């Protein structure tokens, strides 16, 4: 099983590998810079080489780059659209430099343009990217609040079908739960995965953000909880990580660091649930 966490690159991107190993993970995710500002990745050649070498030597992977939170592919605003495309282009280039196969992105919000126009905006923005060989853009499921897109699996399916890019998806369990897909029971997990298969195709599921939720199903509230200790709960998380459709899909944790529990605790909990 591939399970790991979103690790900091403070002090150099190669440090993320060390942090992953300390937490007991064998795959993971990073930001290439602060996700709260417009900033270009600043990774020098030596640091990139160290990251690639340490990843290979310790059999850690796959890694995912998570794009900036400011990126909005659905936006009708020309200036934000251009900034978003430029930011994504730099992320896919950073992924190629680091031998990271995936760059993960949220679709963003249509901010009044309407769902269809928002999705079409996202498709055309993604189609402007020059994605290097060996890198795939992942569109992430969303909690679906306000005018944000990606809360419905059909949104993801539409973008994948319409785009000229060879896209895949990242399913966030807390987001899906917040968007109304009940993952708290084995039956609910089965139904959710069937809906995902119908809307997108399970062969396009490349990564899972494995997070529990602090809020009820369908509330559109995105706040992550420790694995098995939120409202998805232990039964739902156990059913999900043991589902045949998830076998072989890397699980990346974005769980909180609170109550004396961090990534190491959550990674171990996933392993225990998988073994039960």
Mean pLDDT calculated for residue range 88-104 = 98
SS3 266: helix
Summarised one tens digit per residue, pLDDT across range 108-118 is 999 999 999 99
Q: What is the pLDDT of residue 76?
A: 98
SS3 160: helix
CB 75 within 8 A of CB 106: no
Rg (C-alpha) for the chain, rounded Å, is 18
SS3 219: coil
CA–CA separation, 58 and 226 (whole Å): 26
Whether residue 217 is predicted with pLDDT greater than 90 in this model: the reply is: yes
Tokens of 44: 């020098």
- Residues sharing a CB contact under 8 Å with residue 11, sequence separation 6 or more, in sequence order: none
Q: What is the pLDDT of residue 205?
A: 98
Summarised one tens digit per residue, pLDDT across range 116-132 is 999 999 999 999 999 99
Q: What is the pLDDT of residue 276?
A: 62
Summarised one tens digit per residue, pLDDT across range 173-206 is 999 999 999 999 999 999 999 999 999 999 999 9
- Residues sharing a CB contact under 8 Å with residue 20, sequence separation 6 or more, in sequence order: 4, 5, 7, 26, 27, 28, 60
Q: pTM above the 0.85 mark?
A: yes
Place of tokens 């991107």: 13
pLDDT-based confidence at 275, cuts 50/70/90? confident
Average per-residue pLDDT in the chain? 97
The domains of the chain, with CATH numbers, are: 3-275 (3.20.20.150)
Q: What is the pLDDT of residue 162?
A: 98
Q: Which residues of 234-273 are buried (b: 16+ CB within 10 A; e: fewer)?
A: bbbbbbbbeeebbeebbbbbbbbeeeebbbebbbebbeeb
Summarised one tens digit per residue, pLDDT across range 56-84 is 999 999 999 999 999 999 999 999 999 99
Q: What is the pLDDT of residue 87?
A: 98
Within 13 Å, how many C-alpha atoms sit on residue 109's CB side?
A: 10
């Amino acid at each position: 099983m591939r399970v790991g966490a979103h690790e900091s690159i403070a002090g150099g991107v190669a440090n993320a590998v060390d942090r992953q190993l300390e937490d007991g993970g064998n795959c993971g995710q990073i930001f290439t810079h602060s996700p709260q500002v417009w900033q270009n990745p600043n990774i020098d050649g030596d640091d990139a080489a160290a990251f690639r070498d340490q990843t290979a030597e310790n059999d850690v992977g796959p890694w995912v780059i998570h794009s900036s939170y400011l990126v909005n592919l659905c936006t009708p605003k020309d200036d934000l659209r251009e900034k978003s495309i430029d930011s994504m282009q730099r992320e896919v280039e950073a992924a190629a430099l680091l031998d990271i196969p995936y760059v993960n992105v949220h679709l963003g919000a249509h901010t009044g343009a309407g769902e269809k126009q928002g999705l079409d905006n996202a498709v055309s923005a993604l189609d402007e990217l020059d994605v290097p060989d060996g890198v795939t853009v992942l569109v992430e499921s969303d909690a679906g609040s306000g005018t944000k897109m990606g809360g419905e699996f059909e949104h993801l399916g539409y973008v994948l079908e319409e785009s000229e890019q060879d896209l895949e998806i990242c399913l966030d369990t807390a987001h899906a739960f917040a968007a109304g897909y009940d993952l708290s029971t084995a039956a609910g997990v089965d139904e959710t995965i069937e809906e995902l298969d119908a809307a997108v195709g399970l062969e396009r599921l490349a990564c899972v953000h494995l997070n529990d939720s602090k809020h009820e199903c369908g509330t559109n509230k995105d706040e992550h909880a420790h694995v098995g200790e939120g409202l998805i709960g232990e039964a739902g998380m156990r059913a999900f990580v043991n589902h045949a459709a998830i076998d072989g899909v890397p699980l990346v944790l974005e769980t909180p660091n609170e109550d004396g529990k961090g990534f190491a605790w959550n990674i171990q909990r996933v392993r225990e649930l998988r073994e039960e």
